[in-house]
Amino acid sequence: MPIAARAFAAVAADKPLEPYRFDRRDPGADDVAIEIKYCGVCHSDLHIARNDLGGTRYPVVPGHEIAGVVTAVGGNVSRFKVGDRVGVGCMVDSCRTCPACQEGEEQYCVPGMTQTYGSADPLGEPVGQSITQGGYSDRITVNQDFVLRIPDSLPLDAAAPLLCAGITTWSPLRHWNVGEGSKVAVVGLGGLGHMAVKLAHAMGAEVTVLSTSDRKKADAERMGAKHFLINSDKAAMKAAAEKFDLIINTVSATHEIAGHLNLLARDGTMVMLGLTTEPMPVFAMPLLWRRRSVAGSLIGGIRETQEMLNFCAEHGIACDIETIAPDQINEAYARMEKSDVRYRFVIDMARMN
């Protein structure tokens, strides 16, 4: 029998999100049915709801930072049982056979991963769903291979954003071998940035936050940043030249990045994480002179995400959150556009009317 779900969905680019009812599929042999307790609100949710990237199919239920409790499992499921605390991140399937999937990098699946919302959903046909629907809802059914275990020591509400904000910053920190003695700069102290600071600090790096003002300086220091740099302070920027091994750029709006390249040491890398929709100029000279790189990174694979969750549990790391009721989502979007959140909105599904 289909599972009735309540949600908030985007119905058009120029309209607010509204209540939406639909059916989830009954768990198949390899599926896990989850009662969603909390769902984080990511800036990419806003982009999709507003069709900023093009191609949004409506109605769509956003949300890919899902934390909840297992309510049922299929006959082939052995890793999860009813009552387990679990999470679902940005993807719910992949081809399983391409080189990326075989290497545990399902996020780079060559045909394309099945995203938690907005992707074609061949498994949704029996219940009338042509696209996947995300976590701004009270229920979801997911293949067991794309379900994460949330350690008991992590609060479910503050753990939810780890499924995107946490893994999105963890993956490049791991890939570029951050550890004791690394010098890491984080551009922007928002949902992604505050997690980058916490994780890099816990990994042993010396962390600097780059921001447009000092209003979040105390927060940055509390999270583990040793230094705080105003990027409009030309003297301070000049003094920081060639200092950093890695710059994690989390800003989701168009901004100037060329001037930041001189902050990189030889062989240093700036990793772009923010989902920007307009081009940003980069000049060759700063790259050539010190063999610097500009790179990108996209979430992480399932194995890496579980590794991140375990690391967070071991080090007592979770997101700084503000919980909201589902019917406050449009207000949250308006505030998020003004960077008025410290540091992640999380929807409390128990407050669904």
Burial class of 41 by CB neighbour count within 10 A (0 to 12, 13 to 18, 19+): buried
Using the predicted structure, report yes or no on whether residue 318 has a pLDDT greater than 90.
Answer: yes
Confidence at residue 324, expressed as pLDDT on a 0 to 100 scale: 98
Using the predicted structure, report yes or no on whether residue 74 has a pLDDT greater than 80.
Answer: yes
CB–CB of 232/209 below 8 Å?
no
Quick check: pTM over 0.75? yes
Count of beta carbons in the 10 Å neighbourhood of residue 182: 18
Q: Where are the domains of the chain?
A: 3-164+320-351, 166-296
Kindly state the average pLDDT of the residues 143-157: 98
CATH 3.40.50.80, domain 3-164+320-351, yes or no: no
We find that the CATH architecture of domain 166-296 is 3-Layer(aba) Sandwich (3.40)
Confidence at residue 70, expressed as pLDDT on a 0 to 100 scale: 98
